[in-house]
């Protein structure tokens, strides 16, 4: 998917990019490739692949669950790495208020430079592990939307993300193919943490054989105070 095809595919979905947005994606690609020479941000470096597997892939929640995204929504992206999915979503919806949580300072340094270069407003970077951030009153149950892409399996991911979602808000997990079994095995974790899965959408990225799954979880109850447990525990002992 080259940049022109990227713009065309989005316009088919009724998202017309303006010149500024097109330039921002172009700058994003160039910055990512340049920074990747020094910091391991991505294995995907060909332009067509970055536009498809990073940029378009990151936007699929907005295309699939558009009603979840309000213009003034606050979004927290857990383990964003090189800024996926939150920065492409922010470029698409400049009025989103974005908070990015990552435990690696080098990645956050790249993102800080990128945010400045792309002139993005209302993007906060938080250096820390999701388990610690989820217990911090400043962030706990503060966000309308929490996203995570390729971070951990669903039971573990729920413990990282649901404590950050406000009651009535949504958690969106961006998954690879065939995530249905993973969702089934995470039911206890979701219920325990105050979540309820309300949609699972399987899709194929355009002009490719790349399969993806999006899982939408509604926060229906507050998360009990003991969650998230201390750093490392959710991964070692998932809620089953």
| CATH code where residue 84 lies | 3.40.50.150
Is 229 annotated as a binding-site member?
no
pLDDT tens for 195-210 read: 999 999 999 999 999 9
pLDDT tens for 136-192 read: 999 999 999 999 997 688 999 999 999 999 999 999 999 999 898 889 999 999 999
Q: What is the 3-state composition of the chain as percent helix, strand, coil, each rounded to the nearest 5?
A: 40, 20, 35
Domain, as residue range, for 108: 3-236
Q: Are 154 and 191 in contact (CB under 8 A)?
A: no
In which order are the strands placed within the sheet that holds 143-149?
Answer: 123-127, 97-102, 74-78, 143-149, 165-175, 211-219, 195-204
Q: Kind and range of the H or E element at 59? A: helix 57-64
Q: Kind and range of the H or E element at 23? A: helix 19-36
Is 107 annotated as a binding-site member?
no
Q: Output the six-digit token pair for 93.
A: 């919806």
Is 131 annotated as a binding-site member?
yes
pLDDT tens for 42-70 read: 999 999 999 999 999 999 999 999 999 99
Is 81 annotated as a binding-site member?
no
- Number of folded domains that form the chain: 1
Query: What is the pTM assigned to this prediction?
Result: 0.96
User: What's the angle, vertex CA 87, arms to CA 160 and CA 17, rounded to 5?
Assistant: 140
Is 84 annotated as a binding-site member?
yes
Q: Quote the percentage of the chain above a pLDDT of 70.
A: 100
């Amino acid at each position: 998917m080259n940049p022109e095809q990227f713009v065309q595919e989005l316009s088919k979905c009724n998202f017309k990019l303006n010149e500024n947005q097109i330039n921002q994606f172009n700058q994003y690609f160039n910055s990512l490739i340049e920074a990747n020479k020094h910091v391991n941000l991505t294995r995907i470096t060909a332009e067509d692949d970055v536009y498809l597997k990073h940029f378009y892939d990151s936007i699929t929640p907005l295309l699939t669950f558009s009603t979840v995204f309000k213009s003034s929504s606050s979004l927290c992206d857990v383990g964003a790495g090189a800024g996926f999915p939150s920065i492409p979503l922010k470029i698409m919806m400049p009025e989103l208020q974005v908070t990015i949580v990552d435990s690696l300072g080098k990645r956050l340094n790249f993102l800080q430079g990128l945010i400045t270069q792309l002139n993005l407003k209302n993007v906060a970077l938080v250096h820390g592990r999701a388990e610690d951030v989820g217990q911090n009153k400043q962030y706990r149950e503060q966000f309308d939307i929490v996203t995570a892409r390729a971070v951990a399996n669903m039971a573990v991911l729920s413990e990282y993300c649901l404590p950050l979602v406000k009651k009535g808000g949504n958690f969106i997990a961006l998954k690879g193919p065939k995530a249905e079994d993973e969702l089934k095995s995470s039911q206890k974790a979701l219920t325990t943490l105050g979540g309820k899965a309300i949609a699972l959408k399987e899709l194929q990225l355009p002009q490719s054989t790349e399969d993806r799954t999006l899982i939408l979880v509604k926060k229906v109850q507050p998360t009990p105070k003991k969650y998230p447990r201390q750093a490392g525990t959710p991964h070692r002992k998932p809620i089953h």
